[in-house]
Structure 1
Amino acid sequence: MTTSSHATQRDLVASLKGQAVRTGASTPSVRGADWRLATVTAVGAGTVTADGIVARCMEWYSAPAVDDVVRLDQSSSGNWVAMGRLAVAGGTGWTTPTLGTGYTQGNTTTTGNNNGAIRYRKINIQGTWFMEWDGGADRANGAQTANLLSAALATAFRPVRKASMVIARNATAITGVAASSNVFHSLKIDFNQDGTLTLISAVAGDVETNWLSLKGIRYPLD
């Protein structure tokens, strides 16, 4: 065998090896399961198209949108699944605000019905920004400022429309009314577009609010 034929054989082997590697890399049954990041370009009925791949959405990825950056998983049989949207920038950690006159931050033993201090954060859920609240506070008898907080919320934390919520408060019986008929255990609060939080019907008297809770309150910011 001549030197030329040896070189030809080496080239052929290298070519076949390279082709096998490329085939394995592009064939799920050879390379096994895989995943990748991709950007959604179209949304279908329970599916998304990302980087030219049509993938079925997981149950929790129920509100996909174009431009979502998602994780796509592929099985060894070649099926694609959109696992869900990746976290987006812009959220915040918990912030504990200063309360207005007449209000005392809750703790875990004596105030705010032991709900802990009032705090808030901005989070993203399925592509929508929300304001989330936690904690509780005590309210001094007769005290009611126009804002539960000492200052208005920053613009980024204000709803575009007033968000009215029902929150928990101390249950107080009305004088002369049987305790079994007492229904004053909730309170309305308005999260206003100007960044203030207004308690409604927190007046003095039989049904005066002594403690309140914002735990679990959440409203969209758009």
Structure 2
Amino acid sequence: MTVRAGWLLPAGQTREDTRLVPLGTMAPETAMTSRDGVIAGGDPFAATGVTAMQVQIGTGRAIVQGTTAQGAYPVAITSPETLTLVEGNAQYARIDSVVLHVSDGLYDTSEQTAVAVEVIQGEPRATPTAPTLPAGTLRLWDITVPAGASAGTGGITWASALADRRRYTASYGGIIPRGWGLSFAGAYPGQYRDNGAGLDRWDGTAWQPLEPSVGWTAVTLAAGFSNSGNAQGTVRYRRITLAGVPFLQLRGGVSWATSGSIPNSGNLLASVLPANCRPAALTSLPIAAGGVDIKLDAQTSGQLRLISSSGVTTWAALSGVQYPLDA
């Protein structure tokens, strides 16, 4: 038996079942239900096309939530399973779903006690959609079956047909890994998830990013300025959060042609910074420049302005500049 479930078999689970399936208190969704999903680690339940109409699902572990009354089932696949898809409809494509399915005759109409990885067939349509799943199932993959697909016609092009629908779960208090779909609500204030670029925290109403994307964005300099002043590289910015406070960081350097004469009245940018990168109040910072220390004004309009009384040569440095954006 390669597909196993805990707390399902009428004779009780074996000691080996207990060691293999994920047990413990998992991430909740409501007061009495668990967030179902795949347990991260390696590439659980990987899908590989093995013949024209057959797909192999790899090993892995998961939690499958039934109805509120029946609870959640820990499930494991301990050896790869091969599934055969029905031939395509003559006229329309369809979308089939590969799922983990727990049948429990105490709660459903299956009249059996079993767990399996199986294909739920979608309806052939001009614009096909994935099938609706019954309780006790966890979607792993969607597979587009073209019209007329069969072993004789070349079957399914697996590279384009497979759509990853694995969503992940974690134990209570753990960070939920990034998986398919980010449109789910949190279960309790203080829950965390990986959004693919950083962490989100559920505040009871919405997910709040703890650390937005920290990639650098190059600015567009005004006429008369060029990048890499004093060999410090392109002028770039990024918005970060430190101890809950939004900050803007700058790096790089600017230069200009005429010593002692800063172009464009010192206004650096041809395109001002976006609204979420502007300080709530005018913020002035000391910076280094050729021949003299000067001031950088970060303006509420999104403009950055160099201000110097005299003595500046032909470059200014922005590396290391950092200032808060809140009031």
TM-score of the superposed pair, with normalisation by structure 2: 0.38
Q: Distance in 2 between matches of 1:139 and 1:158?
A: 25
Match of 2:96 in 1: none
Q: Is residue 236 of structure 2 the alignment partner of residue 119 of structure 1?
A: yes
Long gaps (5+) in structure 1:
1-9, 28-33, 39-50, 53-65, 72-84, 107-111, 172-183
Alignment of 1:32-43 (within 5 A): 36-37=174-175
Cα deviation for residue 90 of structure 1 reads 4.3
- Residue deviations 1:45-78, cap 9 Å, x none? xxxxxx99xxxxxxxxxxxxx646279xxxxxxx
- Residue deviations 1:94-129, cap 9 Å, x none? 1112211221111xxxxx111001111122333332
Long gaps (5+) in structure 2:
1-8, 26-170, 177-186, 201-208
Alignment of 1:179-194 (within 5 A): 184=292, 186-194=293-301
Q: In proportion to residue count, which structure has more helix?
A: 1
Pick the aligned partner of 2:303 from 182, 186, 196: 196
Pick the aligned partner of 1:86 from 176, 192, 199: 199
What is the aligned-residue RMSD (CA, Å)? 3.8
Change (3 A) 1:159 1:133: same
Match of 1:143 in 2: 262
Change (3 A) 1:68 1:157: farther
1:202·1:209 contact (CA, 8 Å) conserved in 2? no
- Residue deviations 1:141-190, cap 9 Å, x none? 2233241111222212111111211111113xxxxxxxxxxxx3x21111
Q: Is residue 312 of structure 2 the alignment partner of residue 220 of structure 1?
A: no
Aligned pair count reads 148
2:289·2:312 contact (CA, 8 Å) conserved in 1? no
Match of 1:98 in 2: 220
- Residue deviations 1:18-63, cap 9 Å, x none? 9x87xx9559xxxxxx87238xxxxxxxxxxxx99xxxxxxxxxxx
Look up the SS of the partner of 1:137 in the other structure.
Answer: strand
Instruction: State the identity as a percent.
Output: 31
Alignment of 1:72-83 (within 5 A): none
Instruction: Tell me which of the two structures has the higher relative contact order, counting C-alpha pairs closer than 8 angstroms and 6 or more residues apart.
Output: 1
1:144·1:202 contact (CA, 8 Å) conserved in 2? no
Q: Is residue 134 of structure 2 the alignment partner of residue 14 of structure 1?
A: no
